Amino acid sequence: MSLEQNISTALNALYAVQVQPELQETRKEFDGDLTLVVFPFVRAAKKKPEEVAEEIGAKLLDMQAIAGFNVVKGFLNLSLDRGVYVDQFKTFSTDPNFGLPAPGSKGAYIVEYSSPNTNKPLHLGHIRNNLLGYSVAEILKANGVAVTKVQIINDRGIHICKSMLAWQEYGNGETPDSSELKGDHLVGKYYVKFDQVYKEEIKALIAEGKTEEEAKKQAPSLLKAQQMLLKWEEGDAGVVALWKTMNDWVYNGFNTTYAKLGVNFDKNYYESQTYVLGKDDVTKGLESGVFYKKEDGSVWIDLESDGLDHKLVLRSDGTSVYMTQDIGTAIQRFKDFEAKGMTYVVGNEQDYHFKVLFLILSKLGYAWAEQLHHLSYGMVDLPSGKMKSREGTVVDADDLIDGMVADAEAISKELGKLDGLEEAEQQELFTALGLGALKYFILKVDPKKRMLFNPAESIDFNGHTGPFIQYAYARIQSLQRKAPQGAGVDWTALTLNEDETVVIKALLQFPEVMDQAARNFSPAVLANYTYELVKKYNGFYQNNSILKAETEQSIAFRLLLSKKVGEVIKASMNCLGIQVPNRM
């Protein structure tokens, strides 16, 4: 920041312009540490870009921080005095919070993620959702935001009744205990069973002469499920009791998967409770002219002036739609928590829905609506293709997690990375590596992009993977265990070589990277930074002796540098929900 201020002073002295210049890291193919783009000052200088860059560079040489410069067209590449990096690293190394804002200093915020249905287990798509939501929440926390993590559980509706009906008709009293199945897997089994029976009924009706559309509407199983839903809405004791029992099975199953995945929530909302919300808000909006009523009694909002269309918010019979519930639930959350904003982690198929929701809340006069954000993420594919939960071909989250841990075990044994570890420690390591591979592979991808998850590629110890980063951390911890108890660093006598400077520059970027990851709601920013930091540290480690360096001062400094790299790796990986093992 002081360098930018000095450059601003130099620009004012040279060209009588008052601007806040922006510096960027110099590209790898050029010499220098920081680059100033001079094109914005060419008009004021009335000179060619190269001449402007030369003039600015010469002016900046008077500053102690600048050791030299070079000009490439309209780009001024500045080389900083290595003493600057020594001073900055000294400050960085003594700050336990790495220069990040104090916890809770930036107000409160809500992050909603997961939001599963209680008719099936969590799958690969839910894994991406959960990892993104948890990581975004942790990144915001690290940036000084007090975060509340919430989920809304979709525990009502026709899809829930389909599982209930199939269990009632074909389950023979089966329970998670009697079947030795997780509760969510058991309920999902009957969701698949319903679909199988339903399709056979459709075939039979078509064979009797019905059209496909007629058959789909008249299939006996669907009619029974619809009748069951009506009974639930009327509060039928038997249906409600079955609903509670099967939902409890699912919740227990979900909680087991969440624990495996290492994610958590501060508050759960349930659609069976929130579906009544929003109607009063629509009535108020109707009175204030935000909404309008059609002749049939249905209530709408006209968003054509905002580039959208007309949106239904209340049916003619007075029943709510999903938009109604989401309006009411959002308002309720900001009553429950004094937050400044909220992020919804939901797939990109809901982009339009959230544009409408945020607009409606803004038009209803809620100032916090301007701080609502939809983290729209793409689908996850496997090499084998898409997933279809109704047909039972979904990639189950539990199976995927267990498979990743098993792969980590096989590869660790093959590579001989288990020396000196007890059996319990080995199992902890397999879990950390398997989940680390899964989480990092998903989180390193820009959330907006559709992605292909390749389990084999994700666990490569030498690739752009979680285990690659975890191994670097373990190696640093091994180094620290072997470190002699020597003198501290003499900062006044310290000179840096190029490898050390490269690592320090990467470390000093950490607060800025964390801020960027938070502002963009993108764990990928932090994940890819951590990988680059490890690569630079590995280059330093390979080219420089640490424990056998020439002087005690070099040993002390390089151990401190290694320690700080380890701490930043751990802090970054913690924000991604990834454990880093002390031994490998």
* Per-residue pLDDT reduced to its tens digit, 152-189: 999 999 999 999 999 999 999 999 999 999 999 999 99
CB-based contacts of 348: which residues, under 8 Å, 6+ apart?
376, 377, 378, 448
pLDDT attached to residue 394: 64
pLDDT interval class at 404 (50, 70, 90): very high
538-555 mean pLDDT: 93
Please report, for the chain, how many H helices and E strands are present, in that order.
23, 14
Evaluate if residue 473 carries a pLDDT over 60. Answer: yes
pLDDT at 390: 44
pLDDT tens digits along 18-73: 888 888 888 888 988 899 999 988 888 899 999 999 999 888 887 768 888 999 98
Contact, 38 vs 53, CB < 8 A? yes
Nearest to 404 by CA among 460, 444, 477: 460
Is it the case that residue 391 has pLDDT exceeding 70? Answer: no
Tallying the residues shown for the chain, one arrives at: 584
pLDDT of residue 187: 97
Alpha helices in 262-395 (DSSP H): 271-274, 279-288, 322-336, 351-363
CB 77 within 8 A of CB 27: no
Asked whether 375 and 362 are in contact (CB, 8 A), the reply is no
CA angle 468, 472, 477 (to 5 degrees): 145
Reported as half-sphere exposure (CB side, CA atoms, 13 A), residue 428 has a value of 11
Q: How far is CA 546 from CA 220, 321, 530, 556, in A?
A: 75, 65, 22, 9
pLDDT value for 33: 87
295-324 residue pLDDT tens: 999 999 999 999 999 999 999 998 899 999
Q: Are 228 and 239 in contact (CB under 8 A)?
A: yes
Name the least confident of 13-27, 88-102, 108-122, 375-389: 375-389
CA distance 533 to 512: 14
Q: Which residue has the tokens 């109604």?
A: 324
pLDDT of residue 79: 87
Assess whether pLDDT exceeds 70 at residue 386: no
Domains of the chain (ranges; CATH) run 2-80 (3.30.1360.70), 157-262 (no CATH), 399-575 (1.10.730.10)
Confidence of residue 418 (pLDDT cuts 50, 70, 90): confident
pTM: 0.91
Across 241-245, 400-404, 520-524, least confident range: 400-404
One-letter amino acid for residue 230 of the chain: L
What DSSP letter does each residue of 53-84 carry, written as one string? HHHHHHHHTTSTTEEEEEEETTEEEEEEPHHH
Span 342-361, average pLDDT: 97
Q: What is the pLDDT of residue 388?
A: 44
Separation between Cα atoms, residue 565 and residue 93, nearest integer Å: 10
472-485 mean pLDDT = 92
Within 10 A of 62 (CB to CB), how many other CB atoms are there?
9
Question: How far apart, in Å, are the Cα atoms of 278 and each of 298, 341, 577?
Answer: 15, 19, 35
Say what the pLDDT of residue 385 is. Answer: 52
- Angular region, 311: left φ>0, alpha ψ -120 to 50, beta rest: beta
